[in-house]
Amino acid sequence: MENTTCKICPRHCAPAQGSYGFCKARRGAESGTVCSNYGHITSMALDPIEKKPIAMFRPGSVILSVGSYGCNMDCRFCQNHEISRGDGTMPYREYTPEELAEVAWRLHLEQDNIGLAFTYNEPLVGYEFVRDTAKLVSEKGLVNVLVSNGQASLEVLEEIIPYMDAMNIDLKAFTKEGYESLGGDLDTTMKWIENAHSRCHMELTSLIVPGLNDDPEEMDHEARWVASLDPEIPLHITRFFPRYRYTEGEPTDIDLMYRLREVAQRHLRNVFLGNI
Closest CA to 55 of 166, 171, 174, 197: 166
Q: How many domains does the chain have?
A: 1
Say if 12 falls within a structural domain.
no
Measured in whole angstroms, the distance separating CA 43 from the mean position of its chain's CA atoms is 15
pLDDT along the chain (276 residues), means of 10: 81 93 93 92 98 98 98 94 91 98 98 98 98 98 98 98 98 98 98 98 98 97 98 98 88 98 98 96
Contacts of 180 by beta carbon, 8 Å cutoff, 6+ apart: none
pLDDT computed for residue 246 by the predictor? 86
In a domain, 1, yes or no: no
What pLDDT does 1 receive?
47
Q: What distances in angstroms separate CA 201 from CA 122, 167, 234, 235, one per listed residue? A: 19, 6, 10, 12
**Euclidean distance between CA atoms 176 and 196, whole angstroms:** 21
The answer to whether position 123 is within a domain reads yes
Backbone angles phi, psi at 33, to 5 degrees: -125, 150
Helix, strand, coil distribution of the chain in percent, nearest 5: 35, 25, 45
Torsion angle of C-alpha atoms 115, 121, 122, 125, degrees rounded to 10: -100
What's the CA gap between 85 and 210, in Å, rounded? Answer: 23
Which of 146, 4, 3, 150 minimizes the C-alpha distance to 73? Answer: 150
CA distance 210 to 207: 10
Find all residues with CB under 8 Å of 241, minimum gap 6, and list them.
251, 275
Domain range for 262 is: 26-274
What is the structure's pLDDT at 88? 87
* Residue ranges of E strands in 15-158: 26-29, 32-35, 40-41, 43-48, 62-67, 93-94, 113-118, 143-148
- pLDDT at residue number 2: 55
pTM value is 0.97
* Position 112 in a domain: yes
Q: Is residue 31 part of a domain?
A: yes
**pLDDT value at position 41?**
98
Q: Could you tell me if residue 87 is inside a domain? A: yes
Tell whether 210 is covered by a domain.
yes
CATH number of the domain at 155, please. Answer: 3.20.20.70
Does any domain span residue 191? yes
